Amino acid sequence: MFFINFKNYSQAFEGFPRIYKELEEAAKRYPKVQTIFAPPPLLFAKVAETVKIPLWAQHLDPMPLGPYNGFLPAKATQKVGASGTFLNHSEHPLKDQALAETVAIAREIGLSVLIFAATPEVISKVRKFDPDYIAYEPPELIGAGVTRGVSVATAKTEIIPEAVEAARPIPLLIGAGIFKREDIEIALRQGAVGGAASSAIVTAPQPAAVLDELLSAYPS
């Protein structure tokens, strides 16, 4: 699996719809890799009308449709095309009760769930919520591929097997600084099922070329 998190980068808005179409075309060249987009919430419905690739929400709030101003109810996100959601990203952390409630609501309506965790200890903790996937993402390495040329795969190589074991039997992905083929190769060798990237792709001069390199690391 491979996730592209567009966050709220200016390129995700100013490059619409081109960036999404180009990345989708690149992903099509690797049909054995399940590539998923997580577009900005304010652009989600338009992206859903533009591409056929699976789309996940960057976050959900644990409430139904109703008088809840300024939130992202799970059912609303599903109605505009989401098939899953991220939860507990280090830039949007959740307390245990909110995490449990949000996972439960997502489960009720059939949305898949990926929970982010910063350490193997946190992975062991969030595993009890029984998400579909867990992502090991040390927050200090977010964006480090672009700014420092390092990633979780190269800076925390020896911790990935520990994270995989902590997540078991839930499949583990890695994130934070992922920016080149070697990162994915290391992740797969160490037992992860894939990775998640953001700035390395979305802010790149040629986003599709970066995605092509990353997906080429998966077995054909």
Among residues 159, 177, 202, the alpha carbon closest in space to that of 37 is found at 202
Asked if omega into 139 is within 30° of 0 (cis), the reply is no
Chain center to CA of 108: 21
Q: Is the pLDDT of residue 31 over 90?
A: yes
Res 179: pLDDT: 96
Confidence class for position 135, pLDDT limits 50, 70, 90: very high
**pLDDT tens sequence across 49-97:** 999 999 999 999 998 899 999 999 999 999 999 999 999 999 999 999 9
Catalytic residue among 101, 137, 158, 213: 137
User: Reading across the β-sheet that carries 194-197, which strands appear in turn?
Assistant: 35-38, 2-5, 194-197, 172-175, 133-136, 112-117, 84-87, 56-57
Domains and CATH numbers, the chain: 2-215 (3.20.20.70)
Res 220: pLDDT: 86
* Range 32-65 burial, b when 16+ CB lie within 10 A, else e: ebebbbbbbbebbeebbebbebbbbbbbbbbbee
Query: What is the pLDDT averaged over residues 188-201?
Result: 97
Helix (H, G, I), strand (E, B) or coil at 175: strand
The mean pLDDT value of the chain amounts to 96
Confidence class for position 206, pLDDT limits 50, 70, 90: very high
Res 40: pLDDT: 98
Confidence class for position 34, pLDDT limits 50, 70, 90: very high
Output helix, strand, coil percentages for the chain, rounded to the nearest 5. Answer: 45, 15, 40
Q: Is the pLDDT of residue 45 over 90?
A: yes
Query: What is the pLDDT averaged over residues 163-172?
Result: 98
- Is there a catalytic annotation at residue 89? yes
Contact 7, 198 (CB under 8 A): yes
Instruction: Provide the residue count of the chain.
Output: 220
Report the distance separating Cα 110 and Cα 112, nearest Å: 7
* Residue labelled with tokens 């099509």: 28
Query: What is the pLDDT averaged over residues 20-43?
Result: 98
Query: What is the pLDDT averaged over residues 97-122?
Result: 96
Catalytic residue among 89, 108, 121, 162: 89
What DSSP designation does 214 have? Answer: H
Contact 178, 155 (CB under 8 A): no
Res 67: pLDDT: 94
Res 68: pLDDT: 92
- Is there a catalytic annotation at residue 158? no
